[in-house]
Structure 1
Amino acid sequence: MKKIVQIGVGPLGQKIVKNTLQREEIHLVGAVDPDPEKAGKDLGELCGCTHMGIPVSRELTSSIKGRGADVAVVSTFSSLERIEPQLAELADAKLNIVSTCEELSYPWQTQPDIAQRIDKVCRDSGVTCLGTGVNPGFLMDYLPAVMSSICQDIEQIKVTRVQDASIRRIPFQRKIGAGLTAKQFSQRKKNGHLRHIGLTESVHMIARALCWRLDRVEETLDPVVAARLVSSGYKDIRQGQASGVEQYGRGYVGEEEKITLHFRAAVGEEKSHDKIEIVGTPSFTSVIEGGINGDIATAAITLNAISAVLRAESGLKTMLEIPVPSFSGRFCV
């Protein structure tokens, strides 16, 4: 059994906590969240489940002192810059780390200086740090990279993720701009506060897996505009308002578009699906009809990756560098 401390008890963190209660191989021993309204509350009761006898702390030391934690599960920030101090503190405390931070999934090209600092502090402390999730971390990068292994040669990879955001947690619906006017959407896009984070990181992860040296990466973002009243999300969306986002990430070798990632998430979206197209020898298309629920899958892969992280070498790792993760009812370290 491995002991973990949960860092961040927002909607996703709470889902991860609930999942740990169904895993006999994982034992929660502490929880940290800076929100003063959560401090001191019982973790289980805060998450809407059974009393766990674990008070939520505002700082790390009191949550792990004398409890023998092995791993910190971090579901706080999407920004690598904001999460770096947390990761350094956890590494100094000799805790291995699995995080849902999107920009941590493959930061070596996008933010190399921060990536090198995180890698160093983890190596110095003898711990491993991994950024993962359903996307980035699996569906639009790791999975197509694995599927490419059956090809003799590859000319292009295309990945499409279309999802109905009405089944996703409220913070996700807000992050994609559901319910904003065109003016509000434009302003939040300009401020950098509105987008699915991680598309560029996914492009770079695929390129690294296939040893493609990209000359440039481009990313575009546009609103999905509601054609009618949509009432299936956390708030009503009127005709003409944004119901979500449509983004493209493209990686080029010379002028040739080698990687195309298409992400579309909107409240009320029809025909959710995940599709991987590989043009090469052989060429093939794989489709997951109905798509993968991002909240369920992110909570699951975060816990399932722990065993692989504990078997990996120390330092900052990506999904390409750890042993193949899988669901397991016990740890095989």
Structure 2
Amino acid sequence: MMNIVQMGLGPIGQQLTRYLAEREGISIVGGIDPDPNKIGNDLGEHAGLQKIGVEIAPDLDSVALLDKADVAVITTLSSLKKVSPQIIEAAGHGLDIVSTCEELSHPWQTQPEVAKRIDEHCRKQAVSCLGTGVNPGFLMDYLPSVLTSVCQKIDKVKVERIQDAEPRRKPFRDKIGIGLTEAEFKAKRDSIRHVGVEESVRMIADAMNWQLSDVEETLELVKADRDLKNDRIDVDKGQVSGVKQVGRGYRDGKEVITLVFKAAAGVTHSHDTINISGTPTFTSTIDGGINGDIATSAITVNAICSVREAGAGLKTMLDIQVPAYFDEASP
């Protein structure tokens, strides 16, 4: 039996509780969230399940069965600087770590000092730490890196993730500014973006041992071309319906990696498309795209066994065994 402690019980954390609870060979022995309205509640009931006999605790030291835990699943923050103390604490208790922190997916060039500190601490504690998710962590970095495996030569990699944001959870819709006016968007510009684009560019380059001369990222708002109103969203024509973000990686001044991320309410043709230019040149498209909330929760669960086998230190998706679906976790 593999014993899990969850840290962070928002929408993704609750979905993870449901996904973890249904897997054979996995037992949730603790759940942590500092929200006073959650503390003391049964973790299963909090996630819409029957009681599982685990009370939500305010911090790691308050988890009654902490000494039984093997892995911490951290779904709290996107900022690596803010989540790193949680990682350090979990590692200090001898727990392997899987986190959905976007900036943890490939931090070696973006935040080298924090990455080094986490890596050294995990090695000292003989535990492994991984940042993963659907994006970053799979669709716009790991998957295109895998597709280059069949190429004799690569000239350029371009990825497009175009998705209708309406079905996504509310925190995601808020993060991309849905329903704001243009003035409100500009005022909140620093906090409205999809986190992890540069990390994805860096991961692809790392996979192919490319040394990038520059990485740049642009963001622009997407305006609604019609009224978008239902029980989930209320957007007038002309208001912000989402964002378009582009990351570019250069070698000797030449653009060799292009990542286009567009998430907006009302998108009519969602898709995930990877174009590999080289020998051979080909395009792979997932028509309809992958639902981000389902996929993030699923890959986090599926990565647990791979992280347990990964060896000590800070890992990326390029370092671990393929995090394939499993019916039952190995002890």
TM-score, with structure 2 as normaliser? 0.98
1:195 aligned to which of 190, 193, 197 = 193
**Residue identity matched to 1:156:** K
Task: Deviation per CA, 1:138-175: give whole Å up to 9, x if none.
Answer: 00000000000000000000000001111111000000
**Residue identity matched to 1:14:** Q
Task: Deviation per CA, 1:49-73: give whole Å up to 9, x if none.
Answer: 1111111000101215455110000
Q: Spell out the pairing of 1:308-327 with structure 2 (5 A cutoff).
A: 308-327=306-325
Equivalence for 2:71:
71
**Residue identity matched to 1:55:** E
Over 3 Å counting, the alpha-carbon distance change for 1:282 and 1:233 in structure 2 is farther
Q: Secondary structure at the match of 1:29?
A: strand
CA RMSD of aligned residues (A): 1.0
Q: Is the 8 A contact 1:132 1:138 kept in 2?
A: yes
Cα offset, 1:220, TM superposition: 0.3
Distance 1:195 1:10 in 2: 19
2:257 aligned to which of 259, 280, 285 = 259
Query: Which has the higher mean CA deviation after the structures are superposed, 124-133 or 231-240?
Result: 231-240
Equivalence for 1:136:
136
Over 3 Å counting, the alpha-carbon distance change for 1:67 and 1:233 in structure 2 is farther
Equivalence for 1:208:
206
1:328 aligned to which of 314, 322, 326 = 326
Distance 1:332 1:90 in 2: 22
Cα offset, 1:261, TM superposition: 0.1
**Residue identity matched to 1:272:** S
Cα offset, 1:25, TM superposition: 2.0
**Structure 2 unaligned regions, length at least 5:** none
Distance 1:151 1:243 in 2: 38
Distance 2:162 2:9 in 1: 28
Q: Spell out the pairing of 1:102-121 with structure 2 (5 A cutoff).
A: 102-121=102-121
Structure 1 segments of 4 or more deviating over 4 A?
A: none
Taking only the aligned residue pairs, the percentage that are identical comes to 54
Distance 2:278 2:64 in 1: 50
Q: Is the 8 A contact 2:157 2:256 kept in 1?
A: yes
Cα offset, 1:315, TM superposition: 0.5
Distance 1:31 1:19 in 2: 14
Q: Does 1:173 align with 2:139?
A: no
Q: Secondary structure at the match of 2:311?
A: coil
Q: Secondary structure at the match of 1:146?
A: helix
Cα offset, 1:331, TM superposition: 2.6
Q: Secondary structure at the match of 2:115?
A: helix
Cα offset, 1:232, TM superposition: 4.5
Q: Is the 8 A contact 1:232 1:267 kept in 2?
A: no
Q: How many residues align?
A: 331
Q: Is the 8 A contact 1:105 1:201 kept in 2?
A: yes
**Residue identity matched to 1:275:** T
Q: Does 1:240 align with 2:232?
A: no
Task: Deviation per CA, 1:57-93: give whole Å up to 9, x if none.
Answer: 0010121545511000000000000001100000000
Distance 2:275 2:178 in 1: 29
Q: Secondary structure at the match of 2:180?
A: coil
Q: Is the 8 A contact 2:305 2:329 kept in 1?
A: yes
Q: Is the 8 A contact 1:5 1:64 kept in 2?
A: no
Q: Is the 8 A contact 1:233 1:267 kept in 2?
A: no
Q: Is the 8 A contact 1:233 1:268 kept in 2?
A: no
Task: Deviation per CA, 1:221-246: give whole Å up to 9, x if none.
Answer: 00110011012573310011100010
Equivalence for 1:24:
24
Distance 2:64 2:155 in 1: 49
**Structure 1 unaligned regions, length at least 5:** none
Q: Secondary structure at the match of 2:234?
A: coil
Distance 1:108 1:290 in 2: 33
Distance 1:274 1:25 in 2: 33
Distance 1:64 1:322 in 2: 31
